[in-house]
Structure 1
């Protein structure tokens, strides 16, 4: 009888044993840099195709509503920027930074020349200065000029995160501020080749000569599933 009771208990334990959770996909190793040629061949071609397709940037009213919403969430108003010099890093085909009324605006965008010739709804020509170069390429003309640097949903699309941050630091005035917002990625894809996390980007900010004034979670911009964006407010040390 005792043996029968033990067999019944074992069967019941097996019957009600919790199912094993499905294995999560393995995360890729952190990858803050990739080969520039590989980036240019894959990521940049994908970016151009994405911006040429009809999307929310093509609809003026929709685009403006999105721009105002995103800057308001960050606590930024359109007024009070007269006489300020702003650098927009990785601006894309349309300029969120035109929101800042009265500012002088410089744009860094590696595809700027092609956007201006191939994307009918672009507005890059409204900037005061346009550099068709990636964040990773230093531009001497911008050194120590910026009161404010913004980079929205761009730095995770590059090929050398650390080099881009070092250049951004050089563009800021001693009393300037940088707002850098980008998605984190557990695994890379064709348009998001870098694999970053909060820990590694903080180390890179510190190494470049920044202090983090504050950081805030943000919505996910786009791309493969993964953590949402983080907004980093930085000042030179």
Structure 2
């Protein structure tokens, strides 16, 4: 296949997937793997990860690694055909979710996703966690499924992430008016004892987490 024709065929995907296309999608579009390799050799496509390519002319989005890993979990199906809770895919979560939301100061050493069934990856830069999510626990950030701020904080607590890091995620979310505090505290209680409290009160845990932050006291809210 001529390279120009191949690039045109791939454009259906790259134009709607952050400039990305998977090898499996390329085959589905009629672009054989030899032509795909030639496009990469010619610099028209840039390998992002195994089986995922970026169009060279496309600007690099902030979440390219997360987007590429998410695409690779269900590489044949286009992003626009996948539901938020894709049974064959996953949702960006935990530390990667804080980065996607732009809150907190956690640093990711791998792209983390929650999947509905057990899956493994040989890539040390990918961490897959089994978990059941509901529709309201997932938001779309530029088309990428990411756990909501409330669910992300609960996941961090469940993993016993350092209190100061969780507190910064909470504080940033509050400062940007993006957090439903009553909804969050109603579910935080079971994690209180893991953070040294002799209670299962979510409000007490929130106060405890925010006590050491430097951004001031907890804002007033009513349930």
Does TM, scored on the shorter chain, surpass 0.5? no
Q: Which has the higher helix share?
A: 2
Greater RCO structure (CA 8 Å; 6+ sep) = 1
Tell me which structure has the larger Cα radius of gyration: 1
Q: TM-score by structure 1 length?
A: 0.26
Q: Which has the higher strand share?
A: 1
